[in-house]
Amino acid sequence: MEFTTAEPFLHKGLLQSFELTKYILKTNVYPREPSPLKELREVTAKHPGNFMSTTPDSGQLMGMLLKLINAKKTIEIGVYTGYSLLLTALSIPHDAMIIAIDPNKETYEIGLPIIQKAGVEHKINFIESQALPVLDKLLQNKDNEGSFDFAFVDADKENYLNYHERLLKLVKVGGLIVFDNTLWGGTVAQPEEAVSEDRKESRRSIIEFNNSVSIDQRIEIALTPSGDGLTICRRIR
Ligand SMILES: C[S@@+](CC[C@H](N)C(=O)[O-])C[C@H]1O[C@@H](n2cnc3c(N)ncnc32)[C@H](O)[C@@H]1O
Ligand SMILES: O=c1cc(-c2ccc(O)cc2)oc2c(O)c(O)ccc12
């Protein structure tokens, strides 16, 4: 598809400006970030995988979505040290729950003391596993179909479409499935030869995922340029 003067709003695109990102964080995100999340972010900053954390601006958006839909039953794929997990736990009611899946318990345990101190550990059922077998097991019980309000996916990009198919069965009509990293550092809009080798495979998976959800009639979507790209899918049938 070619872009023409019929898209006068194109010049408004301000993506990839570090200064603008810093402005958003400084003025709107950090001043409102709950103190346990700030503490978790600072502890995570000392860990070599810190670049993997969900960004605070995406976290702020997710917190608002969770409250807007009054989410009570949620699922998270890809926990790492738990920034998005703690964010979710702080955004849902006292009696709500999160199934959180990650094969790496060690990194979850980095954030766990902060989750405990925040008084929200009782909402979390952490499952140390690859996500696909857990989702398949949940789907063996018909009672789980359409029973979740919200799902967040931030794990292996190669399985995003596999997660999407399963989560569409688990999330209720009107529920949300949110995927992180759907702009994959901006590489989705770059020619493959300009992308570093280590990012190529995930880039291909994300492009395939973006193309697939863009024509999926079972959902409404919004790809927001928050953080590394956040795609919000709302199940409509
Ligand atoms: C980008 S990090 C998640 C960041 C997290 N959302 C946060 O806010 O800190 C990706 C995580 O996905 C996990 N992961 C990788 N493959 C997975 C799989 N097949 N199933 C579940 N989790 C997986 C990794 O162990 C890693 O902790
Ligand atoms: O650089 C990454 C890598 C991942 C990643 C790679 C392989 C897996 O099995 C899971 C995750 O995820 C990332 C991510 O979610 C992020 O926000 C930034 C960077 C990376």
- DSSP characters for 88-144? HHHHS-TT-EEEEE-S-HHHHHHHHHHHHHTT-GGGEEEE-S-HHHHHHHHHHSGGG
CB atoms within 10 A of CB 12: 6
Residue nearest to atom 17 of ligand 2 (CA): 52
Q: Which CATH architecture has domain 15-235?
A: 3-Layer(aba) Sandwich (3.40)
Using a pLDDT cut of 90, give the percent of the chain over it.
Answer: 91
Cα 90 from Cα 93, distance rounded (Å): 8
Domain boundaries, the chain: 15-235
34-63 tens-digit pLDDT? 999 999 999 999 999 999 999 999 999 999
Give the separation between CA 29 and CA 21, rounded to whole angstroms. Answer: 10
Q: How far is the CA of 63 from the centre of ligand 2 (A)?
A: 21
The closest ligand to the CA of 83 turns out to be 1
Q: Which ligand 1 atom is nearest residue 111's CA? A: 9
Q: Write down the pTM of the prediction.
A: 0.96
pLDDT in tens, 67-81: 999 999 999 999 999
What average pLDDT does the structure give for the chain?
Answer: 95
- pLDDT at 12 > cutoff 70: no
- Ligand 2: residue whose CA is nearest its atom 6: 156
ipTM higher than the 0.90 cut: yes
